[in-house]
Structure 1
Amino acid sequence: MESVARGGTRWKRFAVVMVPSVAATAAIGVALSQGALAASFSVSGQQFKVTADTLDGEGFVQYGALDSGKSGNHPVSVVGIEEAKITNLCQSVVVPVPVFGDVSMTLRAGGKGNDRVEAKKLYIDADSMKVAKPTFNNVDIGVSVDRTTKGPGPAKGDKYAPDSFAQQAESVHFEGVKQRAWATTAGTFKLSGLGMSVKKGKHECY
């Protein structure tokens, strides 16, 4: 599979495929590993939404892949970050319950300053990503996914075409992050000020 590079020096034009965003996985039961997706990794068939005020990442890579589950195959843009710090993280997932109706689980964490969410070897599989103000430092666009050097590299077990299109950067800064994702994994996830709520109906982050 190939992801699509957008724009030359106008970074906002390809923010949809470039911007990494994050999800606190505890609320939806996605297992954390040592920064790599296991070969048997299967998505649940439900998407979740995530927002963040800011995200600062060291070591960034992005490439196209395919997530699989009982609901079928899902083309995704995978973003990998060696180390990420996030402010005001919100994650929401809506679960349809027979007879009862929709139930929303919402998770929030990470204030400002020293209370930011911290993650290492973070991978995000998303099919919709937007950012209001993206900044990329020392960007390489069009490198082989198997030859990236600035980020954590492709996740083990990911389904992608060998030597397919990838993008990488030494560091990134994003403001106003919104994403719709299928899965997130991380080596470690520090959720400062963690809070979760469960409510009837649809109560999403955006």
Structure 2
Amino acid sequence: MQNETRGVTRWRRSACLAIPAAAAIGGMVTAMMQGALAANLSLTSVPFKLSSKTVAAPNGIGAVMHTVDAGGAKTAAEVGLAKAGLDGICVHATQSVNLPVVGNLGTWSLNISSPAAATPLTPDQLASGAGLQANKLILDAQSLKAATATLNASDTTPNVIGAAADGANIKTTGIQDGTPGQFGLDATGGRTDIKNLNADANGATIAGAITLPDLAIGVAHGDSGC
């Protein structure tokens, strides 16, 4: 009798363990089949890591200080790219799962990824339409790092550190909520190239369709990245 009881317990626990995976994947089945996520992809309030091997923004970037709700108000940098080409992307989020009756199931990872090209794409290729293409990519990041970043400019439109957060050029990147009088970075005068982008973020939006070749969405027990 004890063995039968343990068997039933294991079956119920296995069913409950499947719930997070089913919930995370179920709503994205169509996207997986088509290899694309529809417009207005939005990840908010849940901390996650975003990484990409190479990013090219033909129209440059803008950045302002921003407040996000991540279990309480926190200050982050809101970075906007009017257009971006990316050589691969990984979004990695973790969450603790605690279910009634069953109890704490520990930490689970959700990974959304599209791999980089077998032969690394150059910024020129990405800017001309190769790789993953996204419009109005907005990222709320508490930490953003890159191996190298080149912010090009022109004589008529130089990079401005300390630009008005609500300036017209910054708004062209997709950032519409910059606070008047606050600090902003206006680097919209030329293409921005970023190598090995890694961001600890609390929010990301894409105000347009993004095509993700070889899209993979997976749920794993523990803190396991792409």
User: What is the TM-score normalised by the length of structure 2?
Assistant: 0.66
**Partners of 2:183 and 2:65 in 1: CA distance:** 8
Distance 1:165 1:58, change over 3 A: same
Report the 3-state secondary structure (helix = DSSP H, G, I; strand = E; otherwise coil) of the residue aligned with 2:213.
coil
In the alignment, which residue of structure 1 is the partner of 2:50? Answer: 50
Whether the 8 Å CA contact 2:63–2:170 is kept in 1: the answer is no
Question: Match of 1:194?
Answer: 215
Identify, as 1 or 2, the structure richer in strand. Answer: 1
Higher gyration radius (CA): 2
Letter in 2 for 1:62: A
Task: Provide the rounded CA distance (Å) in 1 between the counterparts of 2:174 and 2:82.
Answer: 12
Structure 2: which 5+ runs fail to align? 1-26, 29-37, 99-103, 122-128, 154-158
Deviations along 1:141-164, one digit per CA (max 9) or x if unpaired, are 1111222426625634x4x53121
1:190 is displaced (CA, Å) by 2.1
SS class of match (1:91): strand
Name the aligned partner's letter for residue 219 of structure 2: V
CA distance in 2, matches of 1:49, 1:75: 17
Q: Give the distance between the partners of 1:62 and 1:73, measured in 2 at CA.
A: 19
- Judged with a 3 Å threshold, the aligned counterparts in structure 2 of structure 1 residues 125 and 162 are, in CA distance, closer, same or farther, namely same
Compared CA separation, residues 179 and 101, structure 1 to 2 (3 A): same
Match of 1:181 in 2: 201
Q: 1:167 pairs with 162, 178, 185, which one? A: 185
Question: Is 2:105 aligned against 1:105?
Answer: no
The structure carrying a bigger helix percent of its residues is 2
Runs of 4+ in 1 over 6 A off after TM superposition: none
What's the counterpart of residue 128 of structure 1?
Answer: 143
Please say if residues 83 and 134 of structure 2, whose CA atoms lie closer than 8 Å, have aligned partners that are also in contact: yes
| Cα pair 1:56 1:171 within 8 Å, conserved | yes
1:61-90 Cα shifts (integer Å, max 9, x gaps): 111011135x11011100111100111211
Corresponding residue pairs, total: 167
Name the structure 2 match of 1:62: 63
Deviations 1:24-62 (A, max 9, x none): xx98xxx9539xx9xxxx943x20001111000123111
TM-score w.r.t. the length of structure 1 is: 0.72
Counting aligned pairs with the same residue, the percent is 22
